[in-house]
Amino acid sequence: MIKLAMIDTKTIRTRIAPSPTGEYHIGHLRTCLYDYALAKKNGGQFIVRIEDTDQKRFVQGSMERTLQVIKDYGLAWDEGPDIGGPFAPYIQTQRLDIYKKYIQELLDKGFAYYCFCSQERLDEIRSTQKAAGQVPKYDQHCLHLSKDEIQKNLDAKIPYTVRMVIPKNETIIFEDQIRGKIKFNTNDIDDQVLIKSNGIPTYHFAAVVDDHLMKITHVLRGEEWLTSTPKHLLLYRYFNWEAPTFAHLTVILNPDGKGKLSKRHGATSARSFLEDGYLPEAMLNFLMFLGWNPGDNREFFTLDEFVQAFSLEHLHKKSPVFDRKKLDYLNGYYLRQKTDQQLFDLFKKFLPQATDDQIKILVPVLKERITKLSDLVPQTKFLFENVEYNKDLLLKKGTDPKLAIDILTESKELIKNNFDNLSEKLLELIKNNNWNTGEFFMVFRVAICGSVFTPPVVECLPALGQQKTLEKIDIAITKLTQ
């Protein structure tokens, strides 16, 4: 049985290690937030390292986009590929010479070995094992090759990988900061490939080497990496290195509570939420609670407040549900805390076609009625185009067509003569004609906006302007007379 020591008294150093294989997932951002908080609360360092060893899935520009979106959320790092640091480089494909040194050490010690098996043979082994109801594992065919056989294959330039030697029937025990004591038997662990046939290390090898050399003390990562931890702990033992403290975070579940958060329930990239009009501070506040609680009833935290409150002890063992209603509630709250000038700048980004005067009118009218900034687009569509709708929508409350025409005709005359204080004047018009208020505004709302669900239409008319208001009323009257 082996049990590895954990670091407890050193300066805390955490890291995130995104792979440039696509957009940065919102779940990864949660991990990033927790790593950041753990380091900052304890006066430590937070590091970004790019793990780009999976060249088959490499996406050009992904690293730059990932770094930018993390910055957009207000999280800054102390060391990384863009700012350097004492353990540079921070991009794994720029560290290949380092890995060569350490893989040779494992080969020399007998803790790793060359594997010359072809992909066809490996596939055949796995198929046979699966057919027999066994867990697919490498059969260690190359483990006992002689030095002469190995050299002969190397001289012949036969493609090879380097695999890790897994000891037989040992128990690996470690303390996970969330899940407590975890045990694995080495008989259930495959001889992991450490160096691929292209000479590039796998995640398992590069991450361990880099975490040690960069003095990482705490590794926070998703629970999908839990079964990889014993392999990593063996590597720490083989090198006679101290292992970091591990905390395997729960997965984030879909809004229905079933399965890992996926795109079929909406966008899942960290950038997509910003593009949809969620505020960074609201998103961070939401993510804080997806696997952690402060131990009291507080629900609103700034980033600085979260850093002070954060602790590993309050991380959850139960997977959280991605509750979009809660996210909308938080985002609406943060929007309403903004000044009109701050909202002006935000509205401008989502309504680039609007003039400054229009936005100044819209901010006080709409700020209480949106949960995210992208809500502005459908709510203000009528300001910039004539929305298509049919005659029946104007008569939705069962209004008589003649009455609807009268409502719009008299409203048009009122607006034509005076465009000020319209709310009071329209209510006076309704009273003088003994019209039903709800019926009147249904007809008027559809005429102006082309929809029954609209922002406060009268308050928005100054942004539309007198001439366009009259044009829309004319279009509605034409529909009713056809």
Q: Which residues are catalytic?
A: 263
For residues 90 and 80, the answer to whether their CB atoms sit within 8 Å is: yes
Q: Which of 246, 163, 161 is nearest to 211 (CA)?
A: 246
Cα end-to-end distance, the chain, whole Å:
87
Q: CA distances (Å), 337 to each of 172, 274, 346, 365, in order?
A: 51, 18, 13, 15
Name 95's Cβ contacts closer than 8 Å, sequence gap at least 6. 89, 206, 210
Q: CA distances (Å), 108 to each of 238, 348, 389, in order?
A: 11, 63, 77
- Cα 267 from Cα 286, distance rounded (Å): 16
Cβ burial 286-301 (10 Å sphere, 16+ → b, else e): bbbbbbbebeeeeeeb
Residue bearing tokens 């290195």:
241
**Torsion angle (degrees, nearest 10) of CA 291, 295, 301, 304:** -90
